[in-house]
């Protein structure tokens, strides 16, 4: 398993990360533990979760599973989502962040979080308040680094400049929706990350499973598949046409569409790790193997031409 620096930090993360949004929701603790163990065995050291995933069970399951092997992984979690009824139970205020980091540490059974991410932009809280709280938590050793998720490019830029102006530590990474079929961040966010050397941590790299090859035009979706009841706008003629061309491209190289979905993203050097969820150990094996394909400049351009 290859590893890359996370942005301009010294932190090294596996190019394939394990997304834990299924833990506590779609799968129970024994299943989650088997997925985590498989990931670690394959050299995946980056586990991404949130205090809100699985009604907080995701963090709890990760903490239980990692007892005795905490130092072998980089834990990334998030704060911002509503965690209760009433005031101060959501957002990026100092109070909410300080309250929630303690609860996350308790559930994760650790005394530090490697990467603490702001899950959503909070228009009701000044960004300097958020950044001061994160800077203080870093100084206290409760978090090692911090990043953001689902931020627009102007929100990331403002955060960077406020950090500079106040002489605070800054975001080292951003976690956006990015895949072969979702490329909006290429307009502004990626150039911004390249300019300031921020790590990019794409989520939904397989477009909610559309890029696994299990869906065929005009054929009913497999029973129990994620897109069976709601295709989320993915089942268009154009997308199926793209999928067909990408599949042919992979077959010519004895690869699978899943391999390409990861390799194409990892072609960009600022993509530090691609976050992939899994509900079974065998899915982790498939995802891990995909990180071994290093596509060439020519192959990247060929795929980009198909997408455009």
Closest C-alpha to 23, from 11, 35, 5: 35
Q: List the catalytic residue out of 29, 53, 61, 112.
A: 53
Nearest to 11 by CA among 263, 262, 199, 292: 199
Q: Among 23, 31, 108, 98, which residue's Cα sits nearest to residue 73?
A: 108
Active site residue 116: no
Residue 23 falls in which region: left (phi positive, over 0), alpha (psi -120 to 50) or beta: beta
Q: What DSSP string runs through 236-286?
A: -HHHHHHHHHHHHHHHTTT--HHHHHHHHHHTSTTB--EEEE-SSHHHHHH
The single residue listed with the structure tokens 């609860």 is: 103
Among residues 302, 215, 242, 289, the alpha carbon closest in space to that of 16 is found at 289
Active site residues: 53
């Amino acid at each position: 398993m290859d590893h890359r620096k996370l942005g301009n930090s010294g932190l090294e993360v596996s190019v394939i990360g394990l997304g834990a949004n299924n833990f506590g929701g779609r799968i129970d603790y024994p299943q989650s533990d088997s997925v985590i163990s498989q990931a670690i065995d394959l050299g995946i050291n980056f586990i991404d979760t949130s205090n809100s995933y699985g009604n907080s069970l995701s963090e709890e399951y990760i903490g239980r599973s990692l007892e005795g092997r905490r130092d072998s992984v980089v834990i990334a979690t998030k704060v911002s989502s509503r965690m209760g009824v009433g005031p101060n139970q959501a957002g990026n205020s100092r109070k909410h962040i300080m309250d929630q980091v303690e609860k996350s540490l308790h559930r994760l059974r650790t005394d530090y979080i490697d990467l603490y991410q702001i899950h959503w932009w909070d228009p009701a809280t000044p960004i300097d308040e958020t950044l001061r709280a994160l800077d203080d938590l870093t100084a206290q050793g409760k978090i090692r680094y911090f990043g953001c998720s689902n931020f627009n490019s102007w929100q990331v830029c403002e955060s960077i400049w406020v950090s500079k102006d106040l002489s605070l530590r800054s975001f080292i990474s951003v976690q956006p929706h990015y895949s072969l079929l979702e490329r909006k961040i290429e307009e502004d966010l990626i150039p911004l990350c390249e300019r300031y050397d921020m790590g990019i941590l794409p989520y939904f790299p397989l477009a909610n499973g559309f890029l696994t090859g299990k869906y065929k035009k005009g054929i009913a979706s497999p029973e129990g598949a994620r897109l069976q009841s709601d295709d989320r706008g993915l089942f268009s003629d154009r997308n199926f046409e793209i999928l067909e061309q990408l599949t042919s491209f992979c077959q010519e190289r004895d690869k699978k569409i899943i391999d390409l979905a990861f390799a194409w993203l990892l072609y960009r050097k600022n993509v530090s790790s691609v976050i992939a969820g899994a509900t079974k150990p065998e899915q982790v094996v498939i995802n891990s193997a995909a990180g071994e394909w290093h596509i060439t400049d020519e192959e990247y351009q060929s795929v980009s031409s198909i997408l455009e």
